[in-house]
Amino acid sequence: MESRTEISSLGEFGLIQRINKGITTALPDTVRGIGDDAAVIDIGEEYGLLSTDLLLEGVHFDLTFFPLKHLGYKAIAVNVSDIAAMNGIPHQVTVSIAISNRFSVEAVDELYAGIKTACKDFNVDLVGGDTSSSRSGLLISVSVFGKVKKDKIVYRNTARPNDLLCVTGDLGGAYLGLQLLEREKQVFLANPDMQPELEGKDYVIQRQLRPEARMDVIYELEEAGVIPTSMIDLSDGLASDLLHICAQSGVGAVVFEERLPIDEQTFLAASELNLSPITAALNGGEDYELLFTVSQSAYELIKNNPKITFVGYIADKSEGVSIHTKSDSRVPLTAQGWS
């Protein structure tokens, strides 16, 4: 009898590694395949960047509380974020959708209104896609093509000991926004007459429903003359994504708990939900901020940028990956992100 291995025993990243094991690239213009935020293709004077993302109803979003316009915007933003993580500029996107018969023409219009707004905001062209029927709700697949100068490309596997560890924006808000929306959904299902209690929580709700790709920081790093030594976008949580950088670069890292950038609304939401804001910042995911490393010489060039926080440093591999707590102890960092 043929043995059966459950996918859950591998997890998402184990499955990706297993798929990648049997794949080799043969074409000379394929520079980098599976294993980074985007594939890298030699297109002459520049590198082309190609990435794709799948959003499934019931897995990645819940239409009970997710407006279709915001969903369309988010579908583009999360793909643009992958190009930003390679220090590139997005140019074109394709969008494919599969819809069930419970969606009207007006619903599709609403979805594409959000897609068009995001394309305008991030200066990308929508150039094609595919449409299909679905038996199980809504499916959205977005592919994005971008470009980067060959001497400006940034990978995950090039962090070096003594580099400084930086993060854009703030962390944990998207996860807590989702927890609040899930809570209000349960209240609504129990009593449809109850009004949602979301007043004063607009920031964390927005972090979940309408995240922004940090192209603004990519342009500002360019202006400052700084090329990160490694970079990744924060889709799975700082702990999980930092472990990717460290594993692929063969280094360790230290993160200072007191340096983690957490918005006041995120603190308040965490308190209300009886959750740790630090855990949300480290493991929440879906913030779509950028986690990157820079050489120490770059510190003076970006230290005054209010969008960038220095949260730690890259260490030797032998030191492992840890968080330096406020109580002055070191705790190994483990990935509790999404699978």
State the pLDDT confidence band at 187, using cuts at 50, 70 and 90: confident
Cα 306 to Cα 216, 228, 264, 287: the distances in Å are 12, 17, 16, 17
- CB contact set of 304 (below 8 Å; sequence gap of 6+): none
Burial class of residue 264 (count of CB atoms within 10 Å of its CB; 0-12, 13-18, 19+): exposed
Give the pLDDT of residue 337.
53
Q: Average per-residue pLDDT in the chain?
A: 94
Give the pLDDT of residue 198.
77
> Does residue 168 carry a pLDDT above 90?
yes
Residue among 203, 184, 204, 205 nearest 195 (CA)? 184
For 10-74, the DSSP string reads THHHHHHHHHHHT-----TTEEE-BTBSSEEEE-SSEEEEEEEEEEEBTTTB-TTT--HHHHHHH
CA distance 36 to 50: 10
Alpha carbon 183 to chain centroid, angstroms: 23
Look up residue 163 and give its DSSP letter. Answer: P
> Does residue 118 carry a pLDDT above 80?
yes
Give the pLDDT of residue 339.
58
CA distance 289 to 71: 18
Give the model confidence (pLDDT) of 188-234 as tens digits: 888 877 767 777 799 999 999 999 999 999 999 999 999 999 999 99
Q: What predicted TM-score, i.e. pTM, was given to this entire model?
A: 0.94
